[in-house]
Chains A and B, each alone.
Chain A
Amino acid sequence: MTRNRRFGRVRLILLLTLAALLCLLCLIGPELAPNDPYKVNLLQAKQPPSEKFPLGTDGFGRCVLSRILVGARTSVFSALLVVGITLTVGCVIGTLCGYFGGAVDTIFMRLVDIFLAFPGMVLALAVAGMLGTGLGNAVIALAATGWPQYARLARSYVLTLREENFVYAARLNGQSTWSILLRHILPNALRPLIVTASLSIGGTILGLAGLSFLGLGALPPAAEWGSMLSDGRGLMQQAPWIVLYPGLTIFLTVVLFNLLGDSVRDALAPADDTHLFRKVRPRFKKKGTPTL
């Protein structure tokens, strides 16, 4: 292991730990909130950061820190959900299309063409707008925008993998189609897809916050980072902290996930490795062989 690789490993582990901590924070956020994030108290509106309200209060006198902590779950987990959905749906469709081909492949790939013809945000706006406001609809909108890319990627990887010798060998072994797909094709195709997915987490958080900012995501009074910014923008001159702290939170979260994405890419698809997929050896082959 070269020095660079080792540095990459350490960085990846560090970032994964940070991301895990963030997720933990999302889970226990409501417990940590110093104040009730929904309690409206107009007498305490627009207060600057103080001991009682560490990040100040918003236009309704609600504690900004508490709202950020409670909103974390909505903002981060919904984005992860979107990435999970797009990855799964795209992967299943792409793999099946690539492996079996035929009419289903043609139909789905034309559908992918159509979806990819829309500019991303326009499709998301259209779906979210037609379905109506709400976090669930925003998630659906972003997932509808994201899956075709994964489907196309997965299909192209599977098309190459399908012709590999180890797949022929498995078939000659008498393995069932499903076993070939799950044990040989999918593990190999998944690696570059996971890279793509991890690179897209940051962008998805931004997209979701953007939809919320526009009023198409979480409904008030629910706390969500994007909508907190939107709520506070009229008050920016008097109380900039209402906008500043949620904005900073979004920014730092995206920075973290972008760094993580880069790190995952470097770890799974090193630049010196011309093949994006190094063969993943099937588990049952021999004990003691490294799996990567």
Chain B
Amino acid sequence: MENSLRPDRGSLGRFVLRRLLLLIPVLFGVTFLTYGLMFLSPSDPVEMMLQAQGIPVTPEVAQAMRVKMGLDRPFLEQYFAWLWRFLSGDMGVSLIDGEPVRQMLMAAAPKTLLLTATSLLVTVALSLPLGILTAVRQNRFSDYLIRFLSFLGNAMPCFLLSLLLLYLFALRLNLLPVLAGGGAKGLILPTLALSLPMSGRYIRQVRAAVLEQLGQRYVSGAISRGVRTRTVLFKSVLRNAMTTILTLLALSMGSLLGGTAAVERIFSWRGMGYMVMDAIFMRDYPVIQAFVVWMTVLYVVINLLTDLSYAIVDPRSRKGLGVQP
């Protein structure tokens, strides 16, 4: 009966468990689709591999290779064999140079995660204060100006912004390196290129969320009771707008995963996006598969954490999430 005394914790645990169990079929589907996509491809991986290694493709050699790689077995058998190897950490080797995919991922992932983290940080640092500002100063000049700019940012393709930033700061003003290289200085332009368009999108949403809260009765109630506007804003309004902001964070993570590819290409930032583009042009299937599966797993986990954080930030939402009160 300990549970009844601390209902929150117990139900939260059950909620996590349920969500985790629900993930299993989804992840099965994701891996199945990812693996199945290879069979839709018009080109033959065996041929690609042999050509890349400089071996002349004869039917006998190709057949031998196919047997060796297990590609002659039925589809489902291949899928489960692949999934089993994948789960045990063996993601295969690159068809091009025989390098283990695991090693390639390990080299590229930190770079993409770093870029994602800085972009996310800058996006939040821009869109949260500006969103609140525009909501509080609704229909004033600053509101119109920021909304106008955020509208433009929203329409700006990140590859165009990358090129413009590159042109301005690296080629014209010579302030920053053209190629990201890996240093902190090289991180600035890619981060800006990713976060400015995203901020444009999110300023408007933060503004809408805060405005919605500002229209609630509890705000006028608190203010009429003499609570300082600042206190109301930061203690009540922001807390209530938090679910929207958390959703935003999860969404922006979703668009950053994979969305960094163009920016990584432009700045030669050798992260996962850079790697997967190489793999796509070389038809290096194991690399593409590993990229897709890991990015999706990451995204699924982020979504799970977001749902959890709703339950923590806003206890009311637990009902909607199917958690028993």
- Residues in A lying within 8 Å of B, measured CB to CB: 110-111, 113-115, 117-132, 202, 206, 209-210, 213-216, 226, 229-230, 233, 236-237, 240, 243, 247, 250-251, 254-255, 258
Question: B259 contacts the other chain (Cβ, under 8 Å)?
Answer: yes
Smallest Cβ-Cβ distance to B288: which chain A residue:
A129
B34 contacts the other chain (CB 8 A)? yes
Check B40 for interface membership: any CB of A closer than 8 A: yes
Say whether B299 contacts A121, CB under 8 Å: no
Shortest C-beta distance, B176 to chain A (Å), equals 15
Q: Are B160 and A229 in contact (CB under 8 A)?
A: yes
Interface assignment of B210: CB less than 8 Å from any CB of chain A: no
Contact A130 to B30, CB < 8 A, known contacts A117-B299, A125-B280, A210-B159? no
Given contacts A117-B300, A120-B254, contact A250 B157 (CB under 8 A): yes
Q: In the complex the two chains form, what is the Cα distance from A202 to B158 in whole Å? A: 14
Going nearest first, the 6 A-B pairs with the smallest beta carbon separation are A114-B29, A129-B280, A121-B258, A122-B258, A254-B155, A247-B160
User: Given contacts A130-B37, A130-B38, A229-B163, is CB(A117)–CB(B157) below 8 Å?
Assistant: no
Min CB gap A189→B, angstroms: 23
Give the residues in chain B near A121, CB-CB below 8 Å: 255, 257-259, 261
Q: Is the CB of A236 within 8 A of B259?
A: no
Inter-chain CA distance A16–B258, complex, in Å, is: 33
A110 touching B160 in the complex, CB below 8 Å, given contacts A118-B292, A255-B155: no
- How many Å lie between the Cα of A121 and that of B266 in the bound state? 17
Q: A114-B26, A213-B262 are in contact. List 12 more A-B contacts (CB 8 A).
A: A114-B33, A117-B299, A120-B259, A122-B299, A130-B37, A226-B157, A236-B167, A237-B167, A237-B171, A243-B160, A247-B163, A258-B151
**Chain B: interface residue count, which band?**
35 or more
What chain A residues lie within 8 Å of B43 (beta carbons)? 132
Q: Is the interface of A mostly helix, strand, loop or mixed?
A: helix
B306 at the interface (CB under 8 A from A): no
Please state if A126 and B299 are interface contacts (CB–CB under 8 Å): no
Q: Which residues of A contact B311 (CB under 8 A)?
A: none
The answer to whether B37 touches A117 (Cβ under 8 A) is: no
Cα(A270)–Cα(B300), bound, Å: 34
Query: Chain A nearest CB: distance from B250 CB in Å?
Result: 10
Does B152 interact with chain A (Cβ within 8 Å)?
yes
Q: Count of A-B contacts with CB under 8 A?
A: 133
Chain B 287-312, CB within 8 Å of chain A: the 1/0 string?
01001100110011000000000000
CB<8 Å pairs between A and B, sample of 10: A114-B30, A117-B299, A118-B292, A121-B258, A122-B296, A126-B291, A129-B279, A229-B163, A250-B157, A255-B151
Chain B residues packing against A (C-beta within 8 Å): 25-27, 29-30, 33-34, 37-38, 40-43, 151-152, 154-160, 163-164, 166-167, 171, 253-255, 257-259, 261-262, 265-266, 276-277, 279-281, 285, 288, 291-292, 295-296, 299-300
**C-alpha spacing A258/B280, complex, angstroms:** 31
- Which of B151, B158, B259 has the most chain A CB atoms inside 10 A of its CB? B259
Report B301 CB to chain A, min CB distance, Å.
11
Q: How far apart sit A251 and B262, CA to CA, in the bound complex (Å)?
A: 16
Contact partner, B296, options A119, A214, A243, Cβ 8 Å:
A119
Most buried by B among A114, A123, A130, A202: A130
Closest Cβ neighbor of A209 among chain B residues: B157
Closest to B265 in A: A214
A114 to B42, CA, bound (A): 24
B157 touches A125 (CB 8 A): no
A229 near B258: Cβ-Cβ < 8 Å: no
Are B25 and A110 in contact (CB-based, < 8 A)? yes
Q: Which residues of A contact B292 (CB under 8 A)?
A: 118, 122-123, 125-126
* A55 shortest CB reach to chain B, Å: 16
Q: Are A240 and B167 in contact (CB under 8 A)?
A: yes
Q: Which residues of A contact B40 (CB under 8 A)?
A: 130-131
